[in-house]
Structure 1
Amino acid sequence: MIRTGAEYKDSIRDGREVYVNGEKVADVPSHPMFKPLVDIRARIYDMAHDPATREVMTVTKDGEINAIGSALPYTQADWWAKRRATDAVLEDVGGIVTRVGDETVGEMWSLFDGQDVLAEIDPQFARNIETHIGKVLKTDPFHVSANTDPKGDRSKAPQDQDPDMLLHVVKETDAGIVVRGAKYETAAAYANQAFTKPTIANWGNDTLSDYAVGFICDLGSPGLKFICRTGFAGRAPTEDYPLSNRFDEVDTIVIFDDVLIPWENVLFYRHTRAAMFIRATLHRYSAFAFVQRNLKLADMMIGAALFNARQTGLDKQQAVQEKLSQLAVYREGINAHLTAAIALGERSPAGLMMPNQSLLYTGRVLACSQLHEMMHIARELCGGQICVTPDAASFRHPETKPWMDKYYTINDEWVADDRRKLLAFARDMLNSDYAGHRLTFQLFAQSPPFAHLAAVYRNFDWDGPLAFVKEAAGLSDRVMGEKTLTRGDSTVSKWFSMELERSGRKAAE
C-alpha cells in the first residue's frame, strides 16, 4: 500500500553512513541540507492520501491503491495520468524536483521490456525484474537510479587502472554477489533503493565482464557510505534565495565497500550484451518525466520575465514581445513533443505503451540543448536588477526601508516588497549558484549530450526520408541497399542492431 510521509521519513532512519560538510550526519530527515527535499518527498507521499490530491496521485489495481508514478503504462490514458500527477506535484510544492521517483522508476520498465534478453543469460534475472516491479508497486519505496562511476583515466580499460574506478563484482557467494566501487547519484542519501547499472564503458570485445552488472541496491545495506556535496540550503536567507533553500537535490558519491547484493536483487550480471542493451533502451520511458520538468522550468522563466516586463510597461515594446515569443516557442516545442509522444505512442515488446521514441528523444534534445539560450533571454527580460538588488533585510531595516520603498515601488499594484520577491525569485532561478548547478544537471542528468543525440539516431525512422528521395529522384531499388545502423565511424554489430529493432525501434509496425 502507498506510504505516508512519516513512514517514508522513518524508513531512511536506518543507520546509513551519510557525510556532508566534513561531518557525519546523525539524522538525515532533520539535517538542514536534506530536510527541504525530504519534506517535499514526504509531501508527495502525503498527496496520495490528501482528499484534494489523492485521485490524481493514485491508481487502483486489483483492489489495491498504488502510486500513479510507479504504475506500469499500458495505454495513452496512463501517460496522461502520469503527466497530470507530475504537474500536480510541481504545482503543489511550487518549484521543480526531478529525482523523486516518477522519473527514475521508468528505467526499470526498460528492463521489463528486455526480459527475453535477460532470460537468454539466466532465466532468474528475467524473473527478478518482474518481481521488483511488483515490489515497487506494493511497498512504494523512494526509488532512484545510479549510473555514473568515477571512471578514472578513460583512455584505459577498467582492468588497466585501479579496478574500483568502475563498479564491479569482486566475489560470488551463495547469498549473492559482492560489489566494490562507487556511483554518483542524486538523492541517494535520502532514498530507499537504487537501480544500479553500468555507465557507458569501454569493454572492448569482451563477451563477459565483471563490470557488466545491474542490480537493485537497498540503500540501507551494510558497507555503503554516502559522501555528499555541500548543499545550497541554508547558505543565505530563504527570502533572498527561495529556490536554493527549498529545491536543491543533494548529489552523492555512494561508496560500495564490498557490499553484498542478494541474488534476488541481481538483474543482469557479467554479460556485456545485456549491459549494452540496457544502456541503449534505458530512458525510453523515464525521459518523459525528465523532459516534463523542462516544460515547467520554461513556464517559470516565462512567468518571471513577463511579470517583470509588465510591471515596468516594457511588454508593449516589439523587441520585448519578440523575446517573450522565443521563450513561448521553446515552451511549446517541449509541450508539442510530449503531447505527440503520447498521441503517437508505440507498443513495447512486453506490451507496455511507450511514448513515441523518436519524438521523445528529439524533445529531450530540444529541451536540454536550448535551455542555456532561454535562460539568457529570460535574464535580459528580467533586467540587470536581478543581480544588483539588495537583500530582504535591507527592505526591512528602519534606516534603509524608506529608500527601498521609494526606489522599488512602481505603482499601487507593484509595491517594493512584491517587486523584491519577484527579483529574488528570478535571480535564484537564473543567476545563483543553484541556477548554474541546475543548468549543468539538466544537461547531464540522463546522459551527456552526445548520448542524447545517439538515442535520436537509433530511434529516428531514416527509411522514410530515404524512400521519399529515392522515388522523387527516380533512383533504382538497389540504392536502398542493406540496412545498417552506424554510430560515429563504426558500424554497430549485427546483434546490437537486431536488439534495437526488437526492443521497440519499429514496435509500431
Structure 2
Amino acid sequence: MIRTGQQYRDSIRDGRRVWVNGERVDDVTTHPQFKPLVDVRARIFDMQHEAEHRDLMTVAQDGELNALGSALPYTQDDWWAKRRSTDHMLNTIGGVVTRVGDETVGEMWSLYDGQDVLNEVDPQFSKNIERHIHRVLKEDPFHVSANTDPKGDRSKAPQDQDPDMLLHVVKETDAGIVVRGAKYETAAAYANQAFTKPTIANWGNNALSDYAVGFICDLGSPNLRFLCRTGFAGRADARDYPLSNKFDEVDTIVIFDDVLIPWENVLFYRHTKAATFIRATLHRYSAFAFVQRNLKLADMMIGAALFNARQTGLEKQQAVQEKLAQLAVYREGINAHLTASIALGERSPAGLMMPNQSLLYTGRVLACSQLHQMMHIARELCGGQICVTPDVATFENPETKPWLDKYYSINDEWVSDDRRKLLAFARDMLNSDYAGHRLTFQLFAQSPPFAHLGAVYRNFGWEGPLAFVKDAAALSDRVMAGQSASKGDSAVSHWFASQNEGAARSAAE
C-alpha cells in the first residue's frame, strides 16, 4: 500500500551513520542540507493519498492502491500513465528531482527480463527478483540505485590492486554473503533501499568473479557508513537560490564495511556473463523517466528565457526568436523520442512493454549531449543581469530599495520584485554552483557518454540500412551472410539481435 510522508520520515530515523561537512548527522530528516529533499520526497508520498493527485499517481491492484511509478508496465497505456504521473509530480513540486524512485525501480524490471540468463547461475535468484519487484510495489519504499565504485586504477583488474576499490564478496555464510567496498549513490543517506550492482568492470576472461554481484541493500543495515558531499541547501538565502535550497539531491559514498546481505536479497552472484548482461540492459526502462526529467528542465529554460525576452521587449527580434527556436527544437526532440518510444514499444522477454530501445537511447544521447549548449543559449537569452543582480537583502534594505525598485521595474506588469525573482531563478538554474553540478550529474547520472552511445550501438536496427544498400547497390546475397555472426556469440548479442529483428512486428502488434 502507498505510505505517508510521515511513515517515510520515520523509516529513515534508524540510527544510520551519516556524515556531511565533516560532522556526524543526528537526524537526516531535520538536518538543513538533507531536509529539503526529505520534505520533497515526503510530499510525493502524501500526494498519493490526496484526492487532487491520487488518480494520476496510483494504480489499483489486488484491492490495494499502489504507487504508479513502481507498477510493472504491460501496455502502452501503462507508459502514458507513467509519463502523465511524472509530469504531474514535477509540476506540483515546482522543479526537477531525479532520484525519487520511479526512475530507478525500472532497473529491477531489467532483471525480471533477464531471468533465463540468471537461472544459469541459480534459479533461486529469479525468485528473489520477482519477490523484490512485488515488494517495491506493495511496500512503497524509497528505492534508489548504486552503480559507481571508486574504481582505482582502471588499467588493472580489480584483483591486481586494492581489492576494495570495487565492491566484492569477501565471505559466504549460511545467512548470506558479506560484502566490502564502496559505492556512490545519490540520495542514499535518506532512502530506504538500493539496488546495488557492478560498475562497468574489467572482468578479463573470468567466468566467475566475486565482483559480479547484485543485491538489494537495506540502507539501515549495520556496518554501512554514508559520507556525503557538502550540500547546496542553506548556503545562502533561499530567495536568491530557490532551486539550490529546495532540490539539491545529496550524493553519497556508501562504505560497505563487511555488510551482511541475506540470501533472499541476493539477485545475482559470481557469474560474469550475468553481470555483463545486466549492465547491457540495465536502463531499458529507467532511461525513460531519466530523459523525461531533461524534458522538464528544457521547459524550465524556455520559460525563464521567454519571460526575460518578453519583459524587456526583445521577443520580436529575429536573433532572439532563432535562439528561442533552438531551445524549442531541443525540447521537442526529447518529446518526440519519448513519444515515439511508447508508440513503437517492444515486448520484452518477460512479457513487459519496453519503450522502443533504439528511440529511447538515441533520445537520451540527444538530451544529455546537447544540454550544455542549451544552457548557454538560455544564458544568452536571460542576459548578463543574471550574473550581476544584487541579492534579495539589498532589494529589501530601506536605503537601497528605492534605487533597485527604480532600475529593476519595467512596467506595471514587471515590477522589481518579480524581475528579481525571475533573475534569481535563472541564475540558480544556469549559473550557480548547483547549476554546474546538475549539468555534470545529468551527463553521468545513468552512465557516462561512451556508454550512452554504446547502448545506441547495441540497439539500433543496423539490418535495415544494410538490406536497403544491398538491394540498391545490387549486391549479392553472400554479403549479408556474415552479418549475424559478426555481432558476437554472447547472450547479450543474441538477445539484441532477436529484439531488432522483431521490433517492427512488436510495434505493429
TM-score (norm 1): 0.98
Describe the shift of the 1:485–1:290 C-alpha distance in structure 2 as closer, same or farther (beyond 3 A): farther
Describe the shift of the 1:485–1:432 C-alpha distance in structure 2 as closer, same or farther (beyond 3 A): farther
- The whole-number CA distance in structure 2 between the counterparts of 1:506 and 1:476 is 21
CA contact (8 A) 1:349 1:507 kept: no
- The whole-number CA distance in structure 1 between the counterparts of 2:30 and 2:371 is 34
| Matching residue's letter, 1:267 | L
- The whole-number CA distance in structure 1 between the counterparts of 2:11 and 2:502 is 40
1:498 to 487, 490, 494: 494
- The whole-number CA distance in structure 2 between the counterparts of 1:295 and 1:135 is 30
- The whole-number CA distance in structure 1 between the counterparts of 2:484 and 2:395 is 65
1:101 aligned counterpart, secondary structure:
coil
- The whole-number CA distance in structure 2 between the counterparts of 1:276 and 1:349 is 17
Deviations 1:389-414 (A, max 9, x none): 00011111000001101110011110
Look up the match of 1:250: 250
- The whole-number CA distance in structure 2 between the counterparts of 1:65 and 1:420 is 43
Look up the match of 1:229: 229
- The whole-number CA distance in structure 2 between the counterparts of 1:383 and 1:98 is 28
Look up the match of 1:56: 56
CA contact (8 A) 1:97 1:249 kept: yes
Describe the shift of the 1:219–1:485 C-alpha distance in structure 2 as closer, same or farther (beyond 3 A): farther
Structure 2 residue runs without a partner (length 5+): none
C-alpha deviation, 1:506, in angstroms: 4.2
C-alpha deviation, 1:499, in angstroms: 3.6
- The whole-number CA distance in structure 1 between the counterparts of 2:52 and 2:359 is 33
1:30 aligned counterpart, secondary structure:
coil
Does residue 112 in structure 1 map to residue 112 in structure 2?
yes
C-alpha deviation, 1:480, in angstroms: 1.3
Look up the match of 1:30: 30
Does residue 86 in structure 1 map to residue 104 in structure 2?
no
Describe the shift of the 1:421–1:485 C-alpha distance in structure 2 as closer, same or farther (beyond 3 A): farther
CA contact (8 A) 1:458 1:505 kept: no
- The whole-number CA distance in structure 2 between the counterparts of 1:506 and 1:376 is 40
C-alpha deviation, 1:476, in angstroms: 1.0
| Matching residue's letter, 1:376 | H
Pairing 1:216-365 to 2, within 5 Å after superposition: 216-365=216-365
- The whole-number CA distance in structure 1 between the counterparts of 2:472 and 2:500 is 26
Describe the shift of the 1:10–1:438 C-alpha distance in structure 2 as closer, same or farther (beyond 3 A): same
Look up the match of 2:160: 160
- The whole-number CA distance in structure 2 between the counterparts of 1:495 and 1:392 is 59
CA contact (8 A) 1:149 1:165 kept: yes
- The whole-number CA distance in structure 2 between the counterparts of 1:455 and 1:268 is 22
1:180 aligned counterpart, secondary structure:
strand
Pairing 1:91-102 to 2, within 5 Å after superposition: 91-102=91-102
CA contact (8 A) 1:348 1:507 kept: no
CA contact (8 A) 1:17 1:225 kept: yes
| Matching residue's letter, 2:152 | G
Pairing 1:109-508 to 2, within 5 Å after superposition: 109-484=109-484, 492-501=488-497, 504-508=499-503
- The whole-number CA distance in structure 1 between the counterparts of 2:68 and 2:485 is 36
- The whole-number CA distance in structure 2 between the counterparts of 1:118 and 1:494 is 14
- The whole-number CA distance in structure 2 between the counterparts of 1:120 and 1:89 is 40
C-alpha deviation, 1:494, in angstroms: 4.0
- The whole-number CA distance in structure 1 between the counterparts of 2:256 and 2:387 is 42
- The whole-number CA distance in structure 1 between the counterparts of 2:152 and 2:296 is 36
Look up the match of 1:66: 66
Structure 1 residue runs without a partner (length 5+): none
| Matching residue's letter, 2:87 | D
- The whole-number CA distance in structure 1 between the counterparts of 2:331 and 2:492 is 35
CA contact (8 A) 2:362 2:456 kept: yes
TM-score (norm 2): 0.98
2:52 aligned counterpart, secondary structure:
coil
- The whole-number CA distance in structure 1 between the counterparts of 2:500 and 2:293 is 25
Deviations 1:294-336 (A, max 9, x none): 0000000000000000001100100000000000000000000
2:217 aligned counterpart, secondary structure:
strand
- The whole-number CA distance in structure 1 between the counterparts of 2:289 and 2:483 is 32
- The whole-number CA distance in structure 2 between the counterparts of 1:495 and 1:46 is 43
C-alpha deviation, 1:236, in angstroms: 0.6
CA contact (8 A) 2:178 2:260 kept: yes
- The whole-number CA distance in structure 1 between the counterparts of 2:491 and 2:41 is 41
| Matching residue's letter, 2:493 | S
C-alpha deviation, 1:473, in angstroms: 1.1
2:120 aligned counterpart, secondary structure:
helix
C-alpha deviation, 1:481, in angstroms: 2.6
Identity value in percent: 82
C-alpha deviation, 1:505, in angstroms: 4.4
C-alpha deviation, 1:483, in angstroms: 2.1
Count of residue pairs brought into register by the alignment: 504
CA contact (8 A) 1:347 1:507 kept: no
- The whole-number CA distance in structure 1 between the counterparts of 2:280 and 2:103 is 17
CA contact (8 A) 1:387 1:427 kept: yes
- The whole-number CA distance in structure 1 between the counterparts of 2:491 and 2:27 is 49
- The whole-number CA distance in structure 2 between the counterparts of 1:337 and 1:494 is 29
Describe the shift of the 1:279–1:506 C-alpha distance in structure 2 as closer, same or farther (beyond 3 A): farther
C-alpha deviation, 1:372, in angstroms: 0.2
C-alpha deviation, 1:474, in angstroms: 1.1
- The whole-number CA distance in structure 1 between the counterparts of 2:377 and 2:484 is 41
CA contact (8 A) 2:277 2:491 kept: no
Describe the shift of the 1:213–1:507 C-alpha distance in structure 2 as closer, same or farther (beyond 3 A): farther
- The whole-number CA distance in structure 2 between the counterparts of 1:186 and 1:501 is 34
| Matching residue's letter, 1:99 | R
C-alpha deviation, 1:484, in angstroms: 4.4
- The whole-number CA distance in structure 2 between the counterparts of 1:126 and 1:326 is 47
Deviations 1:102-155 (A, max 9, x none): 000000000000011111210000110000001111111000000000000111
- The whole-number CA distance in structure 1 between the counterparts of 2:192 and 2:501 is 35
C-alpha deviation, 1:493, in angstroms: 4.0
- The whole-number CA distance in structure 2 between the counterparts of 1:29 and 1:385 is 36
| Matching residue's letter, 1:178 | V
1:314 aligned counterpart, secondary structure:
coil
CA contact (8 A) 2:215 2:261 kept: yes
- The whole-number CA distance in structure 1 between the counterparts of 2:450 and 2:282 is 15
1:52 aligned counterpart, secondary structure:
helix
Deviations 1:417-470 (A, max 9, x none): 000000000000000000000000000000000000000000000011111111
- The whole-number CA distance in structure 2 between the counterparts of 1:86 and 1:172 is 41
2:50 aligned counterpart, secondary structure:
coil
| Matching residue's letter, 1:109 | W
- The whole-number CA distance in structure 1 between the counterparts of 2:502 and 2:281 is 13
